[in-house]
Structure 1
Amino acid sequence: MTVDVEDYFQVSAFEEHISRGSWDDLPCRVEQNVDRILEIFSDQGVKATFFYLGWVARRYPELVRRTRDEGHEIASHGWSHIRATEQTQEAFRQDVSRTKALLEDVTGDPVQGYRAASYSIGRNNLWALDVLQETGYRYSSSIYPIRHDLYGMPEAPRFAFYPVEGDLLEVPVTTLELAGQKFPCGGGGYFRLFPYHLSRWAIQRINQAEGQPAVFYFHPWEIDPDQPRQQNIGLKTRVRHYLNLKRTESRLKLLLKDFHWDRMDRVFLEPAPSP
């Protein structure tokens, strides 16, 4: 179970409408939403991995510590949700190093995991995986093996694999393969779009028929139907961001009850899977 900790105005879909320079002046809702998620997880006895933006961690260090103190893994989501495809190798190195250092300073614990903004590591920038290994990360969850208009590397393996020489493990978000095609079933907008029973069926199939753990993700803003609404955005963006926000929390609670969930590090690094 994973949470990409970013606020509603930091999503890639809004980057042409909300400048990063305005972030400090916008009403933040991430703290209250993460606190609600912590409450939900506590009620269900679930431990998860929280991929924190450095921007959020610098502003709310106590939130990061609360998350850690409740037994969850703290991992990196980069500093300010800049896609890796838009960074040079050196800029990426500085970004992931800066975020890792901050999170480790806040918690006192080593940060082992990283997830790129909008799953923006793929066939054209696999050098980013070498950088992650060089800067001390042990795993990434940044390659999405699907076809998508914004991201995706459909030829990538569906389950955890070692993409470069060394010990860096790549753990893709879960997909379901049907008739030779890969379909997303690991959360995000798809979890809000399709009826819950489809998500449950897909994850059960992954667990039972393929004998693999499922990797699920969502964002704090997805349980917040009262968030400020952005104006002058296209229909596709509006649907992707706002569809079924009122249903996410109830569906999430069903998901937590129907399956056993744990942190990324405990599932994939203890013990490490065979290469």
Structure 2
Amino acid sequence: MAGDPIVNAMTVDVEDYFQVSAFEPYIGRDKWNELPCRVERNTDRILQIFAEAGAQATFFTLGWVAERYPALIKRIVEAGHELACHGYNHVRVTQQTPGEFRDDVLRSKRLLEDLGGVQVLGYRAASYSIGSKNLWALEILEDCGFRYSSSIYPVKHDLYGMPEAPRFAFRPNTAEGLLEIPVTTVELGKKKLPCGGGGFFRLLPYRVSRWAIEHVNRRDRQSGVFYFHPWEIDPDQPRQRGIDLKTRFRHYLNLSRTESRLRRLLLDFRWNTMAHVFLSPH
């Protein structure tokens, strides 16, 4: 990618292994404080990896994590990364009323801003849970002072997705000033296929992800948005018992390979924060 002027946005959804939506049927939120936390250790490891690569990123952080690890929030900001909001305790927007959603994002935003000493401009919904049936959430985000959201995934998926949404950054009619920035997809024929990280980054060979992001940069002439979680670089995390096979496969697949693939990705492309890529004049 030498000489290519396009910069992509690297993002981290800062949550612990037991907080993923797929574990909701098995691990109640009332049990979270009883489980061994690994998010601080794993996020510090990510900060080290980014520093070695000279990359900046956006950290969409749960208020639950920030409240328990305030020094981690300071380290993220001091390293020059962007601090952004992921809600308080990973409740999907589809499970909230408008009033509950507003309270949740305001509580999280204020907490992060107090701890980080910076303005929080961005929001990402738990499990990309904003779609065609709850676009009201985007109006609330704008009212709460957010400049952008990265909460709509323009794919068809069994857990989330709004396949009719645009593939690249757009301003929804429901929120004139708010920019919605979808995670990146690649278009093959009439199908949009995920290529912006998560489980697909672990499932498919690295060369597939590399090709897809190159395609978006060169053919579409657009910046990509990539995401992953701290638990995805942690193959030694406690294994959960009694979970269904699909959940087990999705969560634990190729955890031992994620860090090495991430390091290659950081070298193969240019990366910066969401705010720098999408809000800053270039």
Could you say whether these structures have the same fold, taking a TM-score greater than 0.5 normalized by the shorter chain as the test? yes
Asked if 1:92 is matched to 2:109, the reply is: no
Distance (whole Å) between structure 2 residues aligned to residue 42 and residue 109 of structure 1:
20
Partner of 2:224: 214
- Superposition pairs of residues 30-69 of structure 1, within 5 angstroms: 30-69=39-78
Q: What's the TM-score, normalizing by structure 1?
A: 0.98
Of the three residues 114, 119, 129, the one matched with 1:120 is 129
Partner of 1:160: 169
5+ long unaligned stretches in structure 1: none
5+ long unaligned stretches in structure 2: 1-9
User: 1:165 deviation in Å?
Assistant: 3.9
Query: How high is the sequence identity, in percent, across the aligned residues?
Result: 66
Alpha carbon RMSD of aligned pairs, Å?
0.7
Asked if 1:131 is matched to 2:140, the reply is: yes
Q: Deviations over 1:109-161 (max 9, x none)?
A: 11000000000000000000000000000000000000000000000000000
User: 1:167 deviation in Å?
Assistant: 1.2
User: 1:25 deviation in Å?
Assistant: 1.2
User: Between Structure 1 and Structure 2, how many residues are aligned?
Assistant: 272
Partner of 1:192: 202
Distance (whole Å) between structure 2 residues aligned to residue 129 and residue 89 of structure 1:
10
Distance (whole Å) between structure 1 residues aligned to residue 219 and residue 117 of structure 2:
40
Distance (whole Å) between structure 1 residues aligned to residue 42 and residue 85 of structure 2:
18
Q: Is the 8 A contact 2:142 2:175 kept in 1?
A: no
Q: What's the TM-score, normalizing by structure 2?
A: 0.96
Distance (whole Å) between structure 2 residues aligned to residue 201 and residue 185 of structure 1:
9
Q: Which structure's relative contact order is higher, taking Cα pairs within 8 Å and 6+ residues apart?
A: 2
- Superposition pairs of residues 67-86 of structure 1, within 5 angstroms: 67-86=76-95
Asked if 1:17 is matched to 2:29, the reply is: no
Q: Deviations over 1:84-122 (max 9, x none)?
A: 000000000000000000000001111000000000000
Counterpart secondary structure, 2:159: coil
Asked if 1:140 is matched to 2:149, the reply is: yes
Distance (whole Å) between structure 1 residues aligned to residue 266 and residue 123 of structure 2:
23
Q: Is the 8 A contact 2:195 2:209 kept in 1?
A: yes
- Quick one: which amino acid aligns to residue 246 of structure 2? K
Asked if 1:234 is matched to 2:244, the reply is: yes
Distance (whole Å) between structure 2 residues aligned to residue 210 and residue 123 of structure 1:
25
Distance (whole Å) between structure 1 residues aligned to residue 230 and residue 169 of structure 2:
25
Distance (whole Å) between structure 2 residues aligned to residue 165 and residue 60 of structure 1:
33
Spell out structure 1 runs of 4+ moving beyond 2 A: none
